Amino acid sequence: MPKPFPEEFRRDVIAVTRKGDDTIEQVAKDFGVSASTLHRWLKAADAQDSPQPGASGSGESESMKELRKRNRLLEQENEILRKAAAYLAQGVLPK
């Protein structure tokens, strides 16, 4: 198995790639890594840099739970009203 590249080297290559002056393939060739390896590093760095769901605090998480609960309740109420309207519409049909 090949020896892994140092973390500092990876960060430098990712920084150069994100500058956007050269293509990913060109940067990979310049630094002596494969393009697929660089793509994998970029994907991992993007995942690491993006905010994780629920990581911004429990307050937001609690409010999301409350909003989901409220949404579910409103959907149930909507369904009941649809069924009631359909039932009542049957009695109003012209004869």
pTM: 0.51
Contacts of 31 (CB under 8 A, 6+ apart): 9, 13, 16, 38
pLDDT in tens, 46-89: 888 876 655 555 667 888 999 999 999 999 999 999 999 998 88
Residues 67, 73: Cα–Cα separation, whole Å: 10
CA distances from 64 to 9, 71, 74, 78 (A): 39, 10, 15, 21
